[in-house]
């Protein structure tokens, strides 16, 4: 018998099949789950025993409602049964059905109910169903905002879609229960709240009543006394259609709440305070519609605990958080998951019937930053990183396993509040401080190489990510002095060490070989040895110059090293010594730094000199993987938090020569390239990096675009400051 005294950890796969125009997008395909048979065993190994899983109508009967293809689902649902995982079968997930129907089709509810009946008949051992995921949210995105098919932008269309979907839920559950009498409805919906300035309180009240409509319809509450009854009638929904719900109430057995940081909104008529892309309005006022967490609200509480409490007070039905996900850096993902988990635990302790927290997006998600309307391949990591040939567990996997087994989880990054609790999140300065709560004294990282490009970048990005750290100078800790390292690390006891120190003058290394080896190989080994003894995770950096460039393709981690210069040889020796001294170390090979903060880099020199009309000479003889330093630092920090070990290649995806890099930077900055000179045509070498462990950095095109944008902003800011200083 399953233990029910504490909250359960459920899992879920982002499984949207959304139609945008005539294009159907399937997240199960885009995250690779469709082709990977081992995913479910990896999920089961975390201790997950309940999983939201797709049995999506569009994938089973895509062309004809009279036919169905069950092969893939038979295999995967069979695996779930063998693994002891109970599926919550989802039949429509932000979809509008196959191409022969739509959310506005009067036949849609009956057609979906027919699909539900088939699913129940084929898999009668399934007892939990979500016939339609988030009907209100889907109706908003498809009928009010025009994002998804059929791209409506009218309240009448929105309400017709909502009623159609909720009717489909009722008919589907009736069909399912004729075959599986004890089948339970797990009805999901995004739950947020709208706050506003006093002028716009009427709009906030309207939206705050609207948010309950899907649950109110299913619970049979939309009668003549309901605040939206007249609005339904005015939108063309007749009394008979509404009476269907009061006569055939289908209250959820479990209310599934999906709550995101963007779910809560703030409406402000003072448009000048916000970026233009937040400007919106109604037929009475123009206003900004922004994330409420970015506002220092004078009243009203945001966050999952407040919203869950409202749901409990309104319905008094069992509740599960059916999506807990945040598409951000790893520590923020952990902070959000634990905040949601703790909120659920607090309410359960106070008497609310909270059943579970679903760790969502087990395999990540693609292009949800644009609500799927653009195909950019933008991947948000989930519990597993699906960009690897074999699923790679992230720190969220460790957290999920711990929550499933014990209900608790700890990590040093949890000592600091998430960005949504820190003052820097705000569009305008806070009237009060101290909202970034810290549990005691936060545990800290140690970063070596305080004066170097990489060390400075890591410090900057750690600050943005709320990762407390010490940026160490040679006076703080000389990495090539064993006594200095022992003393510093024993005294500071960081939770991890990131080593960015070392000898970096590649062209001068042959004349300074002893110093090069001392700083690159001996120093890295000493720090690795002390970290191993003290149980401190260790990250250090190597180079593409461990290879000679003769392979003819981009190098992956398992390719044999073949250095042809002293600097490359020192890095080979560093890798060997570090992994021998500390087998759990992470050694990151990277290449050809460029970034917005290093004014002495090649890419910055190109921008500066071409803008001044000066001649720039760049080689076309060597193909490299230019690496955008912010991307490198973010990815390395994520891997560190994930507990990754061994050698990993981190470089932006793409291989170009220095001349081509200069050309593309100039093109992006709209600079004349007449003074850009090509050099070194005789033969090519290829030291570009790829990865067999996972390509986790963005494309080079994306990096160049962001570099030019950030560099332009930095240059303009510097010029303005200089003018202001006189």
Give residue-wise pLDDT tens across range 582-592: 999 999 999 99
Domain assignment present for 440: no
Q: What is the pLDDT of residues 144-172, one digit of tens each?
A: 999 999 999 999 999 999 999 999 999 99
Domain assignment present for 574: yes
> Could you tell me if 180 and 304 lie in one domain?
yes
End-to-end CA distance of the chain: 76
How far is it, in rounded angstroms, from Cα 143 to Cα 136? 10
Q: Is 346 left (phi over 0), alpha (psi -120 to 50) or beta?
A: alpha
> Could you tell me if 251 and 109 lie in one domain?
yes
According to DSSP, residue 519 is labeled I
Range with the poorest average pLDDT among 122-126, 184-188, 293-297? 293-297
Give bridge partners of residue 25 from the DSSP assignment.
18
**Residue of 384, 378, 374 whose CA lies nearest to 366:** 378
> Could you tell me if 399 and 501 lie in one domain?
no
Residue 474, token pair as written in the block:
């040679």
Domain span at residue 660 reads 449-725
Q: What is the pLDDT of residues 206-241, one digit of tens each?
A: 999 999 999 999 999 999 999 999 999 999 999 999
Percent with pLDDT over 70 in the chain? 95
- The band of 715, judged by pLDDT with boundaries at 50, 70 and 90, is low
Domain assignment present for 444: no
Q: What is the SS3 assignment for 128-181?
A: EEEEEECHHHHHHHHHHCCCCCCCCCCHHHHHHHHHHHHHHHHHHHHHHHHHCC
**Angle, CA of 145, 149 and 154, to the nearest 5°:** 35
Domain assignment present for 588: yes
Domain assignment present for 21: yes
The CATH number of the domain holding residue 176 is 3.20.20.80
> Could you tell me if 405 and 466 lie in one domain?
no
**Average pLDDT, stretch 173-178?**
98
DSSP string over 185-239: EEEEEE---EEE-GGGHHHHHHHHHHTTHHHHHHTT--STTSTTHHHHHHTT--H
> Could you tell me if 297 and 390 lie in one domain?
yes
> Could you tell me if 377 and 526 lie in one domain?
no
Q: Count other Cβ atoms within 10 Å, centred on residue 446.
A: 24
> Could you tell me if 146 and 219 lie in one domain?
yes
Question: Hey, is 437 helix, strand or coil?
Answer: coil
**Residue of 491, 586, 455 whose CA lies nearest to 532:** 586
- The band of 275, judged by pLDDT with boundaries at 50, 70 and 90, is very high
Distances from the Cα of 348 to the Cαs of 212, 335, 341, in angstroms? 22, 20, 11
Distances from the Cα of 424 to the Cαs of 348, 418, 419, 464, 638, in angstroms? 32, 11, 7, 9, 21
Q: What pLDDT is recorded for position 4? A: 45
Kindly state the helix (H) or strand (E) to which residue 258 belongs, with its residue range: strand 254-258
- The band of 680, judged by pLDDT with boundaries at 50, 70 and 90, is confident
Examine the fold and report which residue of 376, 393, 425 is the final residue of a domain before the chain moves on: 425
Range with the poorest average pLDDT among 98-102, 647-651, 684-688? 684-688
Domain assignment present for 505: yes
- The band of 438, judged by pLDDT with boundaries at 50, 70 and 90, is low
Q: What pLDDT is recorded for position 520? A: 97
Instruction: Give the chain's domain count.
Output: 2
SS percent in the chain: helix, strand, coil, step 5: 45, 20, 40
The CATH number of the domain holding residue 554 is 3.40.50.720
Range with the poorest average pLDDT among 4-13, 310-319, 610-619? 4-13
**In the predicted model, is pLDDT for residue 722 greater than 90?**
no
Helix 108-122 vs helix 155-179: angle between axes, to the nearest 10 degrees?
A: 30
Residue 518, token pair as written in the block:
């001392």
Q: What is the pLDDT of residues 297-335, one digit of tens each?
A: 876 689 999 999 999 999 999 999 999 999 999 999 999
Residue 120, token pair as written in the block:
């129940």
Q: Are strands 86-93 and 50-54 parallel, antiparallel or unpaired?
A: parallel
**Average pLDDT, stretch 609-631?**
94
> Could you tell me if 551 and 466 lie in one domain?
yes
Is 444:495 a contact under the CB 8 Å cutoff? yes
DSSP string over 266-295: EEES-GGGS-GGGEEE-SS-EEEEEEGGGS
Chain mean pLDDT for the chain: 94
**In the predicted model, is pLDDT for residue 430 greater than 70?**
no
**Residue of 627, 611, 625, 621 whose CA lies nearest to 676:** 611
Give bridge partners of residue 366 from the DSSP assignment.
379
**Average pLDDT, stretch 631-645?**
98
According to DSSP, residue 522 is labeled I
Q: What is the SS3 assignment for 457-511?
A: HHHHHHHHCCCCEEEECCCCCCCCCHHHHHHHHHHHCCCEEEECCCCCCHHHHHH
> Could you tell me if 552 and 661 lie in one domain?
yes
According to DSSP, residue 415 is labeled G
Residue 73, token pair as written in the block:
């689902």
Give bridge partners of residue 651 from the DSSP assignment.
none
Domain assignment present for 2: no
Domain assignment present for 430: no
How far is it, in rounded angstroms, from Cα 266 to Cα 150? 28
Q: Are strands 593-594 and 656-657 parallel, antiparallel or unpaired?
A: unpaired
Task: Establish whether 567 is a catalytic residue.
Answer: yes
> Could you tell me if 345 and 478 lie in one domain?
no
Q: What pLDDT is recorded for position 2? A: 33
- The band of 711, judged by pLDDT with boundaries at 50, 70 and 90, is confident
- The band of 249, judged by pLDDT with boundaries at 50, 70 and 90, is confident
How far is it, in rounded angstroms, from Cα 517 to Cα 491? 27
CA torsion sign for 249, 251, 253, 257 is positive
Examine the fold and report which residue of 425, 457, 484 is the final residue of a domain before the chain moves on: 425
Which residue out of 379, 567, 600, 628 is catalytically annotated?
A: 567
How far is it, in rounded angstroms, from Cα 625 to Cα 647? 17
> Could you tell me if 88 and 136 lie in one domain?
yes
> Could you tell me if 468 and 399 lie in one domain?
no
Is 427:567 a contact under the CB 8 Å cutoff? no
């Amino acid at each position: 018998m399953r233990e029910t005294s504490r909250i359960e950890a459920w899992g879920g796969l982002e499984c949207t099949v959304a139609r945008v125009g005539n294009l159907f997008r399937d997240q199960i395909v885009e995250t690779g789950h469709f082709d990977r048979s081992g995913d479910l065993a990896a999920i089961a190994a975390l201790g997950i025993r309940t999983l939201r899983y797709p049995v999506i109508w569009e994938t089973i009967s895509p062309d004809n409602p009279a036919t169905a293809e069950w092969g893939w689902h038979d295999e995967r649902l069979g695996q779930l049964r063998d693994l002891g995982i109970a599926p919550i079968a989802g039949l429509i997930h932000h979809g509008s059905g196959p191409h022969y129907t739509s959310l506005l089709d009067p036949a849609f509810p009956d057609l979906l109910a027919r699909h539900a009946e088939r699913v129940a008949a084929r898999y009668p051992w399934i007892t939990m169903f979500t016939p339609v995921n988030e009907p209100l949210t889907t109706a908003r995105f498809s009928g009010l905002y025009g994002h998804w098919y059929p791209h409506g932008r009218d309240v009448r269309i929105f309400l017709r879609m909502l009623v159609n979907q909720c009717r489909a839920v009722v008919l589907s559950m009736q069909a399912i229960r004729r075959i599986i009498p004890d089948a339970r409805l797990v009805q999901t919906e995004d739950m947020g709240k709208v706050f506003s300035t006093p002028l716009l309180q009427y709009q906030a009240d309207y939206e705050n009543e609207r948010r309950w409509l899907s649950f109110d319809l299913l619970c049979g509450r939309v009668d003549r006394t309901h605040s939206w009854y007249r609005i339904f009638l005015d939108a063309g929904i007749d009394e008979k259609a509404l009476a269907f719900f009061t006569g055939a109430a289908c209250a959820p057995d479990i209310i599934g709440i999906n709550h995101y940081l963007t779910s809560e909104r703030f409406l402000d008529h003072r448009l000048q305070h916000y970026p233009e892309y937040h400007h919106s309005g109604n037929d009475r006022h123009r206003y900004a519609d922004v994330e409420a967490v970015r506002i220092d609200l004078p009243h009203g509480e945001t966050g999952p605990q407040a919203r869950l409490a409202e749901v409990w007070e309104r319905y008094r039905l069992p509740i599960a958080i059916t999506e807990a996900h945040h598409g951000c850096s790893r520590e923020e993902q952990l902070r959000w998951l634990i905040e949601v988990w703790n909120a659920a635990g607090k309410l359960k302790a106070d008497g609310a019937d909270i059943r579970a927290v679903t760790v969502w997006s087990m395999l990540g998600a693609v292009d949800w930053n644009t609500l799927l309307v653009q195909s950019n391949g933008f991947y948000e990591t989930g519990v597993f990183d699906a960009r690897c040939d074999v699923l790679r567990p992230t720190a969220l996997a460790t957290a999920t396993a711990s929550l499933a087994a014990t209900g608790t989880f700890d990590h040093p990054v949890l000592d600091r509040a998430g960005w949504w609790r820190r003052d820097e999140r705000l569009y305008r300065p806070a009237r009060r401080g101290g909202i970034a709560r810290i549990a005691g004294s936060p545990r800290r990282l140690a970063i070596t190489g305080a004066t170097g490009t990489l060390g400075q970048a890591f410090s900057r990005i750690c600050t943005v990510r709320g990762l407390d750290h010490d940026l160490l100078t040679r006076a703080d800790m000389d990495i090539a002095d064993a006594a200095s390292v022992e003393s510093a690390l024993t005294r500071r006891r960081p939770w991890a060490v990131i080593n960015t120190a070392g000898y970096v003058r590649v062209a001068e290394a042959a004349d300074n070989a002893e110093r090069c080896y001392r700083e690159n190989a001996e120093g890295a080994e000493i720090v690795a040895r002390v970290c191993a003894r003290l149980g401190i995770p260790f990250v250090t950096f190597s180079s593409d110059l461990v290879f000679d460039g003769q392979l003819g393709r981009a190098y992956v981690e398992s390719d044999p090293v073949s250095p042809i210069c002293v600097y490359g040889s020192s890095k080979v020796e560093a890798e060997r010594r570090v992994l021998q001294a500390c087998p759990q170390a992470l050694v990151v090979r990277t290449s050809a730094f460029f970034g917005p903060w290093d004014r002495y880099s090649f890419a910055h020199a190109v921008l500066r000199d071409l803008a001044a009309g000066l001649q720039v000479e760049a080689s076309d003889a060597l193909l490299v993987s230019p690496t955008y330093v912010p991307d490198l630092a973010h990815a390395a920090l994520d891997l560190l938090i994930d507990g990754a070990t061994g050698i990993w290649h981190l470089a932006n995806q793409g291989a170009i020569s220095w001349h081509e890099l200069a050309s593309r930077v100039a093109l992006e900055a709209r600079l004349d390239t007449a003074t850009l000179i090509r050099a070194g045509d005789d033969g090519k070498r290829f030291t570009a990096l790829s990865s067999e462990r996972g390509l986790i950095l963005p494309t080079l095109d994306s990096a160049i675009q962001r570099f030019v944008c950030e560099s332009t902003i930095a240059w303009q800011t510097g010029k303005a400051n200089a003018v202001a200083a006189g």
